[in-house]
Amino acid sequence: MACINFPSPVFGPIHSRRLGTSLGINLLPEGGKVCSFDCLYCECGFNKDNRDNTKLPSREKVREVLEKKLIKLKEEGITPDVFTFAGNGEPTSHPQFEEIIEDTRILRDKYFLNAKISVLSNSTFIHKPSVFRALQRVDNNILKLDTVNPDFIKCVDRPNAGFDLKRILEDLKKFNGNLIIQTMFLKVKKDGKVIDNTTDEFVTPWLEEVKKINPREVMIYTIARETPDKDLEKISKGKMDEIGEKVEKAGLKCNVSY
Ligand code: SF4
């Protein structure tokens, strides 16, 4: 199985390990990934791969295609549990993200009132007031924090220049608990060394910061699909459960996916 690019601006519904029957909304071009991170584990491959000249979908295009899709789902008797902003990169980087969230809320209320709206984000644009406002208007504001170790972030998440972990940690607290933290656990073999963010050296300071952020839930997961870097190792169920128990012991709800 190879890394995938998702259709844009709407794909699915697909079954999501964490969210159920999920209708995907991809605000990135369909011809390759565009992200402020370039994670070794990204199921869409690396930023440099598969790029073509396709552009970001406009707000109008997203609204039009989404409405047509919702009408079709109604006709087919398919009910999505969730509309999920995800796909080929970072959804909150779209310049009209806030307006698109508002359009999606209106369409959700019109066609599938009980569906949730989720955003899977890497947290790098939450300092922007429009993104911060929009994320407070969705049901599941799911923000990435894989670790608080700068070397691991540099090696595994590979952010663009300008990444500021300290600022992100402060901004995550500003949601006052109205967020879900998502964390990928894995092992990486690089230059003969193994880096593993499941050890106490990583988990203890990560959990300390997560407690300060005080999210309503923590989602921890490990590799489940093809990754562009082949030197990555999935974490065992036992180890994932152990970390999940630590999170619960700290008084936070934890959802563990393998
Ligand atoms: S943040 Fe998400 S979309 Fe971006 S590179 Fe990482 S896994 Fe891929």
Structural domain count, the chain: 1
CATH number of the domain at 108, please: 3.20.20.70
pLDDT of amino acid 234: 96
If you measure from the C-alpha of residue 155 to the centroid of ligand 1, how many angstroms do you get, rounded to a whole number? 14
Share of the chain above pLDDT 70, in %: 98
208: in domain: yes
Alpha carbons 258 and 239: distance in angstroms, whole number: 10
Q: Quickly state the pLDDT bin for 165 (edges 50, 70, 90).
A: very high
4: in domain: no
238: in domain: yes
Atom of ligand 1 minimally distant from the CA of 33: 3
Section 130-147 average pLDDT: 98
Atom of ligand 1 minimally distant from the CA of 89: 3
Verify whether ligand 1 is closer than 6 Å to residue 89 (CB atom): yes
Verify whether ligand 1 is closer than 6 Å to residue 38 (CB atom): yes
3-state SS record for the chain: CCCCCCCCCEEEEEEECCCEEEEEECCCCCCCCECCCCCCCCCCCCCCCCCCCCCCCCHHHHHHHHHHHHHHHHHHCCCCCEEEECCCECHHHCCCHHHHHHHHHHHHHHHCCCCEEEEEECCCCCCCHHHHHHHCCCCEEEEECCCCCHHHHHHHHCCCCCCCHHHHHHHHHCCCCCCEEEEEECEEEECCEEEECCCHHHHHHHHHHHHHHCCCEEEEEECCCCCCCCCEECCCHHHHHHHHHHHHHCCCCEEEEC
Section 79-99 average pLDDT: 97
Given a cut of 70, is residue 2 above it in pLDDT?
no
pLDDT of amino acid 11: 95
* Enclosing domain of residue 155: 10-257
2: in domain: no
115: in domain: yes
Best residue among 5, 36, 44 to mutate for probing ligand 1's pocket (most ligand atoms within 8 Å of CB) is 44
- Please give the mean pLDDT across all residues of the chain: 95
243: in domain: yes
1: in domain: no
163: in domain: yes
Verify whether ligand 1 is closer than 6 Å to residue 35 (CB atom): yes
> Each residue of 218-237: pLDDT tens digit?
999 999 988 999 999 999 99
| C-alpha 22 chain-centroid distance | 13
Verify whether ligand 1 is closer than 6 Å to residue 26 (CB atom): no
Best residue among 40, 122, 168 to mutate for probing ligand 1's pocket (most ligand atoms within 8 Å of CB) is 122
pLDDT of amino acid 82: 97
Section 14-42 average pLDDT: 92
Given a cut of 90, is residue 191 above it in pLDDT?
no
Given a cut of 50, is residue 1 above it in pLDDT?
no
pLDDT of amino acid 50: 66
